[in-house]
């Protein structure tokens, strides 16, 4: 992969972000997702790569585009694995809430874990605690390690956890330890990445969420020098067999960052759809002008770019929502 590919990829997330942002607060999550997916797939045709979707909108018989196994890109350039979530936070957009994003991870062919669509236990920290976390450690021990490495008192440490009933025992233990808890609704990619960006004030991510989102997050964490461990959590025999079909024999064995994203390179790009802690949402400036806020990073060089861009939609008619 080369640095030009990173900048091409962010154009793809920008397109998905603009298309889906027009559905913000309209209560139509499927329409928002369809708009993001169509825009992302269309823009991929101009990207100089031979890409294969390894994490996408579902199997071929479940999704008309960006399905697992689909070939994307111009057909020229590096051969890469591609993991996409055209709209991370469909419910967020439908309800007009914060922290929706369009996200993509790209890595050399054969280096992204082909995670099945199921739950995954995850723990994520920033660079200061990298190499020291273990998913099997009690949360109390993990909090102590993270506090020590970040030079914070436990009471000043912030742990971000998805606001779900399944996490209540975990939330209770974190609070009992004395750390602060920040709850979030949907969209755990952004929450994971927040641990590795000091301006967010988030120190530790822990909880159970989607496995595909875990792999996408891992590409960003690798680029930011953070650390992550995970474990697939199949709910029944069918999901267990899907893990085995993908070459994962020991479900209980923790997956380290190098298992989620092999090799030394990966690209992660995201564009904000609705404003959140990581990115501002798409802003409609009047006339045909929009502004986007994106982040793109590359693991090999540890380069992180925040990109603000103005777009004139007269020249991008495929991104404009049709009037009723």
pLDDT band at 249 (very low <50, low <70, confident <90, very high): confident
**In the chain, what are the domains?**
3-112+266-319 (3.30.540.10), 119-260 (3.40.190.90)
pLDDT of residue 315: 64
How is 52-115 classified by DSSP, letter by letter?
EEEESSS-TTT-SSS-TT-EES-S-S-EEEEEEEEEE-HHHHHHT-S--EEEEEEEETT-B---
Q: Hunting for tokens 């350039």 — which residue is that?
A: 77
pLDDT of residue 86: 96
pLDDT band at 186 (very low <50, low <70, confident <90, very high): confident
Average pLDDT, the chain: 93
> What's the predicted TM-score (pTM) here?
0.93
Q: What is the pLDDT of residues 54-72, one digit of tens each?
A: 999 887 767 889 999 999 9
Mean pLDDT of 127-151: 97
Q: What are phi and psi of 309, to 5 degrees?
A: -135, 145
Quote the distance between the C-alpha of residue 313 and its chain's center. 26
pLDDT of residue 85: 95
pLDDT of residue 19: 96
- 85, 217 in Cβ contact below 8 A? no
Half-sphere exposure of 88 (CA within 13 A, CB side): 33
pLDDT of residue 117: 84
Mean pLDDT of 215-228: 96
Backbone region of residue 203 per phi and psi (left: phi > 0; alpha: psi in -120 to 50; beta: other values): alpha
pLDDT of residue 317: 67
Q: Exposure string (b/e) for 143-178, b if CB count within 10 Å is 16 or more? A: bbbbbebbeeebeebbbbbbeeeebeebbeebeebe
pLDDT of residue 263: 87
Q: Which residues pair with 255 in a beta bridge?
A: 230
pLDDT of residue 158: 98
Which has more confidence, 253 or 139?
Answer: 139
Does 324 score more than 70 pLDDT? no
Q: Which residues pair with 290 in a beta bridge?
A: 284, 311
Mean pLDDT of 265-294: 94
Mean pLDDT of 227-244: 90
Q: What are phi and psi of 255, to 5 degrees?
A: -95, 125
Which has more confidence, 36 or 321?
Answer: 36
Is the alpha carbon torsion for 257, 263, 265, 270 positive or negative?
negative
pLDDT of residue 196: 95
Q: How far is Cα 188 from Cα 201, in angstroms, rounded to an integer?
A: 16
Quote the distance between the C-alpha of residue 79 and its chain's center. 21
- 230, 251 in Cβ contact below 8 A? no
């Amino acid at each position: 992969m080369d640095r030009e590919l990173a900048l091409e990829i962010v154009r793809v997330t920008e397109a998905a972000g603009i298309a889906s942002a027009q559905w913000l607060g309209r209560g139509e999550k499927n329409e928002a997702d369809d708009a993001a997916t169509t825009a992302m797939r269309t823009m991929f045709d101009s990207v100089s790569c031979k890409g294969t979707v390894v994490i996408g909108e579902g199997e071929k018989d479940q999704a008309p585009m960006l399905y697992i196994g689909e070939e994307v890109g111009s057909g020229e350039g590096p051969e890469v694995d591609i993991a996409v979530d055209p709209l991370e936070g469909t419910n967020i957009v439908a309800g007009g809430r914060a922290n929706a994003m369009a996200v993509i991870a790209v890595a050399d062919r054969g280096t992204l874990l082909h995670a099945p669509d199921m739950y995954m236990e995850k723990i994520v920290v920033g660079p200061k605690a990298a190499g020291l976390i273990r998913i099997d450690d009690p949360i109390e021990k993990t909090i102590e390690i993270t506090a020590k490495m970040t030079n914070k008192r436990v009471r000043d440490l912030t742990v971000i956890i998805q606001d779900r009933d399944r996490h209540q025992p975990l939330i209770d233990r974190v609070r009992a330890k004395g750390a602060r808890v920040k709850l979030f609704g949907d969209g755990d990619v952004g929450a994971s990445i927040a641990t590795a960006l000091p301006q967010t004030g988030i120190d530790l991510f822990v909880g159970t969420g989607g496995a595909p989102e875990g792999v996408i997050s891992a590409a960003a964490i690798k680029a930011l020098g953070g650390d992550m461990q995970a474990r697939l959590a199949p709910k029944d025999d069918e999901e267990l067999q899907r893990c085995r079909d993908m070459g994962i024999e020991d479900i209980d064995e923790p997956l380290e960052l190098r298992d989620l994203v092999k090799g030394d390179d990966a690209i992660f790009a995201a564009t904000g759809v609705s404003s959140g802690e990581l990115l501002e949402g798409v802003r409609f400036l009047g006339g045909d002008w929009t502004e986007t806020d994106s982040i793109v990073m590359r693991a090999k060089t540890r380069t992180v770019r925040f990109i603000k861009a103005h777009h004139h939609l007269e020249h991008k008619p495929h991104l404009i929502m049709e009037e009723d």
